[in-house]
Structure 1
Amino acid sequence: MSAHRRPLNVRWLAAGGAAVLAGIIGVALLLQTGGSACAAPPSTTTKSGKATFYDLAGTSGNCSFEVPSDDLYVALGPAEYSEGAACGAYLDVTGPKGKVRVKVFDSCPECEAGHLDLSRTAFKKIGAEVDGIISIKYKLVTNPSVPAPITVRIKEGASQYWFAARIDNHANLLSSVKVANSGGSFKAAYRTDYNYWLIDSGAGSGPYKIKITDVYGNTATLSGIDMDPGTVQKTSVTMSGGSSTVTSKSSSSSSSSSAASSSKKASASAKPKASVSASASASSAPPVESATTEPAVTNEALVNLAAGEPTAAASCG
């Protein structure tokens, strides 16, 4: 299956009223040993950097999300995008005019670490559009509010023999996703750089239970997820607002739309159908089969990175 790739977008850097392409290839992203790009999602430690802005031009971005209704999103460079590990998290970004909260939505291949490429709407909230580039401070938000309960979207081309699902509205960085077919045991999925969780051998025909765990050990089990490629399936589950509990709420009454790359609209008859379980520790999960591909960043590394602690697995020094 081919990965979702972000097309070349126009990036605006207003200088003397003229728009020019933004950014320089970030050689600083390379490790001093080995030459591979650092994988370090944003942390809760406040960092300094710069921001530019861009227009989507019809694409859904590398995280494969629908465009947020408030149009507040950000694209991260390879180091902080971390091959999709940062997708769905939220950053507080402070600029000359104030602060804005943005969802990690896209990757910016030419952005070095510390260079955030904001939506035009987000940029204008904290800086003057005519400046094109501004100095900022930013940090990862812990337990942010999300616009709706968790949703699941099965990717086009998926089947009982090849499982691929996108999870949205999970609030914090995710560390693992496990899937069980009806009556079966859980299998571990692995994350792609286009933000789908895959099981190459498949997970059966469904319906599925999907257990998600964030970097703080919060877990939720989404039940009754169908093999319905291209449809955004709503649940009644949230995973935000506390470090050890998960609460269940009613599903949003607003209709969901499929991603821009989807050829199928979300079903208007989709109903909340998720149960919820909570755990204070990811280690309490039952044993599962190993994923066929290892994530670029380990779960332990993600936890440390969220807290702003360096790790051997994702150090940029």
Structure 2
Amino acid sequence: MTAPGTAPDNEIPARTPRLSRRLRHWLAGAGVTALAAVLGITLAVRGGATPACAAPPTGSTVHKGKASFYDAGRSGGNCSFPGPPADRLYVALGASQYAGSAACGSYLEVTGPKGKVRVMVMDQCGGCGPSKIDLSTEAFTRIADRSQGIAPVTYRAVVNPPLDGGLTFRMKGGASKYWFAVQVGNHGNPLRSVEAKGPGGGFRKAARQSDNHWTVDGGLGPGPFTIRVTDVYGRQATATGIRMVTKQLQRSTAILASASPTPSSAPSAPPSPTVAPSPTATESVTPTATIEALAGAAPLDRPRC
């Protein structure tokens, strides 16, 4: 006998599998959603997503933090340089200061327990927070004992560092008349914008990529190209005669310059007797170049967080 309102015993097994199947389907769906969310987070972390408030170190702001060290070998790091600077004094920054490659090619002065060193930003440090930097082994030993492993440091941007020669340009492998992709080097300060044009066309703004290349979808034709570069302090230079030759370093005489400083301009750092070497390449060509100046251009505004 079955009590009123109670399902017969022989119906329970029949209903239970149907409920279990529905439950399994629901759990499977929820599991896929949860898995997708986890994978999304993982991919975002591994992909080094740029934080919303990301910006490279600029101006006279002094940052306080810690430094570790590493060896990039022959790699040019996330900045995709042909290799490390000849003196091997370089640094990797966390995502918030690497800022999607905006810091690439700029310089920092790092002060530690033993002294100071000037380093070029070449890489992104995946495990570094906003106050942590990763120096090359050679740079770290200038400011601390290697046995420390991690050392307290302060660091700031080197504004308008003295450089050896003018801007350099390197077309990315795969670039063509249908897809313009160039890397700008030997600029010293973080760059604000890159614009380019082919023969007979007007300037088009290039988009900054996280691997430190500037691209124009649809291309600009076969070249040669005129490329206008502006840094975060409003200094500007225009190089002409840049050719569509991939993976070769093209040197120019174009030097980022500005008119006399005004109150709205960023302060300049005092000259240093040391000339920072630029990344090297096995081949180079020399285009012609012109120089332009912008008076009183304001530094790039840092994003508000």
Q: TM-score when scaled to structure 2?
A: 0.74
Q: Aligned ranges for residues 226-265 of structure 1 at < 5 Å? A: 226-239=243-256, 257-258=280-281, 265=282
Cα distance per residue 1:190-240 (max 9 Å; x no partner): 101110000011111100000011111111101000000010000012226
* CA distance 1:36–1:166, change in 2 (3 Å): closer
SS in 2 for 1:81: helix
| 2:237–2:257 CA contact under 8 A, matched in 1 | no
Which residue of structure 1 aligns with residue 301 of structure 2?
304
2:86 is the alignment partner of 1:89: no
Task: List runs of 5+ in structure 1 lacking aligned partners.
Answer: 1-26, 246-253, 259-264, 283-299, 306-310
2:55 is the alignment partner of 1:55: no
| 1:84–1:193 CA contact under 8 A, matched in 2 | yes
Which residue of structure 2 aligns with residue 251 of structure 1?
none
* CA distance 1:111–1:187, change in 2 (3 Å): same
Cα distance per residue 1:52-90 (max 9 Å; x no partner): 000113321011123111111100011110111111111
Aligned partner of 2:288 among 273, 281, 285: 273
CA RMSD of the aligned region, Å?
2.7
1:272 Cα deviation from its structure 2 partner = 4.5
Letter in 1 for 2:184: I
For 2:184 and 2:290, the matched residues in 1 are separated by 15
Letter in 2 for 1:120: T
Which residue of structure 2 aligns with residue 116 of structure 1?
133
Identity %: 45
Which residue of structure 2 aligns with residue 41 of structure 1?
56
Aligned partner of 2:208 among 191, 197, 208: 191
SS in 2 for 1:117: strand
| 1:232–1:256 CA contact under 8 A, matched in 2 | no
Which residue of structure 2 aligns with residue 249 of structure 1?
none
1:110 Cα deviation from its structure 2 partner = 1.0
Which residue of structure 2 aligns with residue 291 of structure 1?
none
1:256 Cα deviation from its structure 2 partner = 7.5
SS in 2 for 1:130: helix
* CA distance 1:242–1:109, change in 2 (3 Å): farther
1:148 Cα deviation from its structure 2 partner = 2.9
* CA distance 1:159–1:175, change in 2 (3 Å): same
| 1:244–1:278 CA contact under 8 A, matched in 2 | no
Letter in 2 for 1:52: S
1:143 Cα deviation from its structure 2 partner = 0.8
* CA distance 1:77–1:172, change in 2 (3 Å): same
For 1:272 and 1:162, the matched residues in 2 are separated by 21
Which residue of structure 2 aligns with residue 67 of structure 1?
84
Which residue of structure 2 aligns with residue 286 of structure 1?
none
Aligned partner of 1:169 among 186, 196, 199: 186
Aligned partner of 2:150 among 111, 133, 152: 133
Cα distance per residue 1:155-213 (max 9 Å; x no partner): 01000000000001111111110001012100000101110000011111100000011
2:239 is the alignment partner of 1:222: yes
How many residue pairs were aligned? 243
Cα distance per residue 1:15-41 (max 9 Å; x no partner): xxxxxxxxxxxx9xx9xxxx9553121
* CA distance 1:54–1:241, change in 2 (3 Å): farther
Cα distance per residue 1:83-107 (max 9 Å; x no partner): 1111111111000011111111100
Task: List runs of 5+ in structure 2 lacking aligned partners.
Answer: 1-44, 263-276
